[in-house]
């Protein structure tokens, strides 16, 4: 991540920093996870904190700063509206985005749907601005939902097309894709879905650990 990479220190994240490299996490409440909004370096109590802890322990020789700008309740349109101040100005070397579940959820709890076309337009704009205004490597995480409680099964109709959008955008923008929906489904064959996310959306400690492991695997840290 940065600096003078040699064969022993190289990782696969795709960011090339100068000075301290900045790794930025963006998304909704899953990323936010009660971070302190008054502290720009607060990582919250979820997967960004777990990732930073493992990364720093395994790569102490690399000067890396971690930042979390997730905001609970955000949809892609909210991310789009705040992208300049919460990404472009920061100039990250690596940006990880996990967004989309609220674009699904609001259809079912508020009758306020986000169409697949709107979702794609918002996400495409975010990524276009990122590649035009930064040199950041990009990691995209699929939105995910687990079948607990039972009504979450109805959400597949809405979330599946949006997952396909994220996969297509990863190809278009040469981003690393972390298939979290599939990873959670696979994990749910080992332990019941509620073990990973009690409400099917917000990860438990184990669920956050699963996300962190997938990220660290993807960038070649573990």
pTM over 0.75: yes
The reply to whether 199 belongs to the active site is: yes
- In this structure, what token pair is assigned to residue 4? 């003078």
Kindly name the residue from 29, 93, 158, 181 that is annotated as catalytic. 29
* Mean pLDDT value across the chain: 93
Could you give the CA distance from residue 140 to residue 67 in angstroms, rounded to a whole number? Answer: 16
- In this structure, what token pair is assigned to residue 205? 């400690």
At 20, is the pLDDT very low, low, confident or very high (cuts 50, 70, 90)?
Answer: confident
The reply to whether 202 belongs to the active site is: yes
Instruction: Report yes or no: 185 and 163 within 8 Å, Cβ to Cβ.
Output: no
Instruction: Report yes or no: 106 and 60 within 8 Å, Cβ to Cβ.
Output: no
The reply to whether 29 belongs to the active site is: yes
Report the pLDDT value the prediction gives residue 13, as an integer from 0 to 100: 54
Kindly name the residue from 112, 151, 174, 199 that is annotated as catalytic. 199
Q: Give domain 21-219's CATH superfamily.
A: SGNH hydrolase (3.40.50.1110)
Predicted confidence (pLDDT) at residue 154 exceeds the cutoff of 70: yes
Report the pLDDT value the prediction gives residue 18, as an integer from 0 to 100: 39
At 16, is the pLDDT very low, low, confident or very high (cuts 50, 70, 90)?
Answer: very low
Could you give phi then psi for residue 96, rounded to 5 degrees? -115, 130
Q: Is 218 helix (H, G, I), strand (E, B) or coil?
A: helix
What tens digit of pLDDT does each residue of 67-95 get?
999 999 999 999 999 999 999 999 999 99
What tens digit of pLDDT does each residue of 182-207 get?
999 999 999 999 999 999 999 999 99
Report the pLDDT value the prediction gives residue 170, as an integer from 0 to 100: 98
Domain boundaries, the chain: 21-219
- DSSP secondary structure string, 98-109? E--HHHHHHHHH
174: left (phi over 0), alpha (psi -120 to 50) or beta: left
At 19, is the pLDDT very low, low, confident or very high (cuts 50, 70, 90)?
Answer: low
Report the pLDDT value the prediction gives residue 135, as an integer from 0 to 100: 97
């Amino acid at each position: 991540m940065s600096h003078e990479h040699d064969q022993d220190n190289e990782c696969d994240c795709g960011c090339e920093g100068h000075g301290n490299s900045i790794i930025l996490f963006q998304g909704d409440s899953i990323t936010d996870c009660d971070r302190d909004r008054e502290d720009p370096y607060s990582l919250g109590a979820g997967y960004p904190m777990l990732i930073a802890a493992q990364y720093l322990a395994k790569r102490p020789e690399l000067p890396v700063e971690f930042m979390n700008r997730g905001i609970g309740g955000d949809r892609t349109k909210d991310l789009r509206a705040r992208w300049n101040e919460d990404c472009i100005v920061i100039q990250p070397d690596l940006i990880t985005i996990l967004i989309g579940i609220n674009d699904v959820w609001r259809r079912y709890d508020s009758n306020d749907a986000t169409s697949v076309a709107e979702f794609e337009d918002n996400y495409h704009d975010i990524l276009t601005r990122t590649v035009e205004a930064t040199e950041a490597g990009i990691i995209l995480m699929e939105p995910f939902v687990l079948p607990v409680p039972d009504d979450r099964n109805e959400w597949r109709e809405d979330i599946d097309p949006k997952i396909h959008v994220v996969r297509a955008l990863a190809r278009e923008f040469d981003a690393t894709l972390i298939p979290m929906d599939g990873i959670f489904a696979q994990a749910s064959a080992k332990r019941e879905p509620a073990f990973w996310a009690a409400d099917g959306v917000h990860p438990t400690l184990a669920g956050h650990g699963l996300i962190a492991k997938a990220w660290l695997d993807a960038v070649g840290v573990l």
